[in-house]
Chains A and B, each alone.
Chain A
């Protein structure tokens, strides 16, 4: 059969596409359990991080999650996709998963706070599509770490941008102010809006739990 005949072109294209898609499906099938396990670990580790619970290895993280963290109902209109509760030393803490718009796509976070929603216990980024090396740096430890123990003001928190931000992390946990990422003002502003949305959700969740 001639290589340029219409029948050959159609049959060749069909067979080649089917063959490559088959191998992709095979690779996906072979790794899907591992990918699902990675996803579950990432989600649970993020909740532990948001509550400030420390762990050293994945099995320990999963075990601590099972032992300490409980699901918490989300009141209607709270703006959270999921909520969690953690009790330790007679104190209750809440965490909420919220999603908002970043520069390039959605950013999903898990944000934890004490029962009075006066101080944050931590923040973890679950999913983001910001520019690697720029906005993507919101996932770095120095940025996330500043949220741990930060006092929440009446209006929530504020993320400094431009000259106000040193880009290294705000050391004062009582000013409700955090450093934004240098060169990524839009992503930093998005984080401020998403975290403040998370704080409103946590207030509704904590209010509903009382």
Chain B
């Protein structure tokens, strides 16, 4: 179990990351990553929604008819997102006001339905919860990295605190959605290059002739 859990964590963070390998959840990557604070709230929301939706759908899988499985998936995902929205409105009204329509839009995040279809439909509830949570963490890691670059260069701040010198001229392009496209492409380039190098090294090590043991 722990070996499988470790593999799921590694897959979702690196070898099968939702952003740079599965290319899911790109819409929200473009929209929210110009502010680290909004990115953190959004990604925590997505992680929790994915984890709980996967857990619930996995627990229900034996009873769901194939014909309506997608309707049920959307129902369960919407349920958790609306619960998050209600909690924010009741206990964190300022955050709720700032995020506006983006909380509701978590429902349309492809990662949640993707994990429900690809993992929760064929695995046990606890493992599905873990898969959902770690998929959210993989998404969070990439989005926060992009948001740090965009907020520093776009506003000269990090989490609202000034980090660039007073004379720094903010890069307006970094505030706008197209800059996230460039940065996502850079992340994909970097990750694919590192993964391809590691694979080439492993293949070379496998095909290299083994040293023949000396005869006595």
Contacts and interface: CB of A to CB of B under 8 A. Distances in A.
B100 interface: yes
A38 B67 contact: no
Say which size band chain B's interface belongs to: 35 or more
Interface in A10-43: 12-13, 16-17, 20, 23-24, 27-28, 31, 34-35, 38, 42
B67 A4 contact: yes
A182 B97 CA distance: 21
A183 interface: yes
Contact of A134 (B34, B71, B79, B101): B34
A13 B70 CA distance: 11
B38 A132 contact: yes
Nearest to B90: A31
B68 A13 contact: yes
Contacts, number: 80
A128 interface: yes
B127 interface: no
A182 B68 contact: no
A8 B76 CA distance: 19
B200 to A, nearest CB: 39
Contacts of A12: 63-65, 68
Interface in B38-60: 38, 60
Contacts of A167: 170
Nearest to A28: B86
Contact of A133 (B38, B64, B67, B91): B38
Nearest to B72: A16
Contacts of A67: none
Interface string B163-206: 00000001010011000000000000000000000000000000
A92 interface: no
B67 A9 contact: yes
Contacts of B170: 167, 182
B176 A183 contact: yes
Contacts of B99: 132
Contact of B35 (A31, A130, A132): A132
Interface of B: 31-32, 34-35, 38, 60, 63-68, 71-72, 75-76, 79, 82-83, 86-87, 89-91, 93, 97-102, 170, 172, 175-176
